[in-house]
Amino acid sequence: MKFLDTSPRNLFFTGKGGVGKTSLACAAAVTLADRGKRVLLVSTDPASNLGQVFGVEVGEHEPTAIPHVAGLFALNINPEAAAQAYRDRIVGPVRNALPPDVVKGMEEQLSGACTTEIAAFDEFTGLLTGDAVTDGFDHIIFDTAPTGHTLRLLQLPTAWSNFLEDNESGASCLGPLSGLEKQRQRYSQAVGELANSEHTLMVLVTRAQQGALVEAERTSGELASLGITNQRLVVNGVMPEAIGEDPLAKALRNREQAVLGHVPEGLSRLPTELVPLQPRNLVGVEALRALLLPVPESLLAPTREIVVPCPSLPPLAGLVDEIEADGHGLIMVMGKGGVGKTTIAAAIAVELAARGHAVHLTTTDPAAHLAMTVEMNLPGLEVDRIDPHAESERYRQHVLETKGDKLDAAGKTLLEEDLRSPCTEEIAVFQAFSRVQQESRKKFVVVDTAPTGHTLLLLDATGAYHRDVVRNLPQGMHVVTPMMRLQDPKLTKMVIVTLPETTPVLEAEALQADLRRAGIEPWAWVVNSSLAATGTNNPLLALRAKEEAKHIEHVQHFVPRVALVPWQIEPPTGANALRSLAAGPVFPNLN
């Protein structure tokens, strides 16, 4: 990464899960330390694996010296612990003064990702503004940067406590920021430091995939709007040019080059660097040093010497067999961005329709037409899309009209910023989903992009629908509320999609825990885009395929149902391709 030659003191590596920002942040830290610099590497990622990467337990309060790299130290900021401390600080004083259900609602309001991010920012603000911990370091490298939404929120002027007092039923995932208000000047100084191009560089990490590039463009624009313009783009994991004749390797290379030939306009002006795909997980100092070097030629020549065992997991069609047995129901497919949940949702819907069932497939993915171009005349299949922007705007206007009319100008500004939260869109979209939920009593309804457990609890707490219905039922009468339908696996099946890689699996585990907090047990997992299930003989891909085994085995240990989907040589568009994906791998060494 050439920008390390003239790097400012603060470097932030940001990007969606699974793009490799932690590996690149660690490699940058090792490189600078090898050049004689004194470097502090800080992670605020909930799924941080700094300890695994360096083979040492990284502390949360004092920097830990990294063995075999003179001058390199690491520090973990635990965002969940920071968020819990923040919750205790806000809720503690009123815990015994308010009814238990009100306190529970406040705690849930403070359980969202936005609150966690703000609490984490509270923790590392000192590192940006001259905390004693950072004294004597030439560079501070942050793994995971705050989003534009969080930074905008911290720049707002006043009065969160007054706003929240009047916001008894509005859906806010941010919670009262009154606990942070007293440090407003400190935050303003930190945001100013981020915008100082001489002191700070934002490194946007992405992959050569359209969705990842679109996300990077959005992040770049958000940061630029706040004056944070010193940005670099790093495209990680690019397939090298010399790849032999393996059809999978050639397809991967061609697909990536096509994407890189049409980089979004918002990114095309940024200085850009490509980092080649690595043959194995980046664990250990030597592997990190090799990350920024060309891939050895020995790994690019075709060979059949690398034996990759095929995981013994059923294909997606095996899950559909169980889904089909109920005759109808709601199937909600969820997962972090980039794991292929839209494709999996489409494949489930097409397979059910091909078996003669009435199916409604709906999605919120703006790019869904790329992955689910199913024939509209496929008997029994209805396909549509919920526009998240339209639904969010409808929801925002409703909240502003019902809650905002009682607020002054400052309060309305705070409310409007709160409504820019990612959770707001999720809540608005779920309200649209609820309109199709009734259909699942008579047919199969497959929903792409399901709400998180936090969103479900927030809706249940703020609307109090579930509690009110149950409390006011006549004695002996039974009713099924929307939340109860989601909690019943006979009525709703939650399917989590992941990739056989470290970060996506950790994120999927966090998603599962989130759902369980809402009383919802995920029904199944789908491990998507498996190289091990393709039979590739390209040495670079085969080595990566061998790395999948430990992740797949880990998933099998704690998930009752797991399906395996191979990496697809051609994008799975059309009913035939989606059914082929669901059928699973077919190659000679499969028994």
Q: Mind telling me the catalytic residues? A: 18, 20-23, 45, 503
Residue of 570, 573, 567, 569 lying closest to 545 (CA atoms): 567
d(CA 388, CA 424): 10
**Number of H-type helices and E-type strands within the chain:** 25, 15
Taking the C-alpha atoms of residue 524 and residue 527, their distance in angstroms, rounded to an integer, is: 10
CA distance from start to end of the chain: 45
Task: Give the whole-angstrom CA distance, residue 205 versus residue 28.
Answer: 13
Whole-angstrom distance, CA of residue 7 vs CA of residue 23: 18
Buried b (16+ CB within 10 A) or exposed e, 112-125: bbbbbbbbbbbbbb
Say if strands 10-14 and 39-43 run parallel, antiparallel, or are unpaired.
unpaired
Query: 446: left (phi > 0), else alpha (psi -120 to 50), else beta?
Result: beta
Question: What's 504-548 look like in SS3?
Answer: HHHHHHHHHHHHHHCCCCCCEEEEEEECCCCCCCCHHHHHHHHHH
Q: How far apart are CA 58 and CA 109, in angstroms?
A: 31
Residues 205, 282: Cα–Cα separation, whole Å: 16
CA-closest candidate to residue 259, choices 196, 326, 203, 211:
211
CB atoms under 10 Å from CB of 558, counted, come to 10
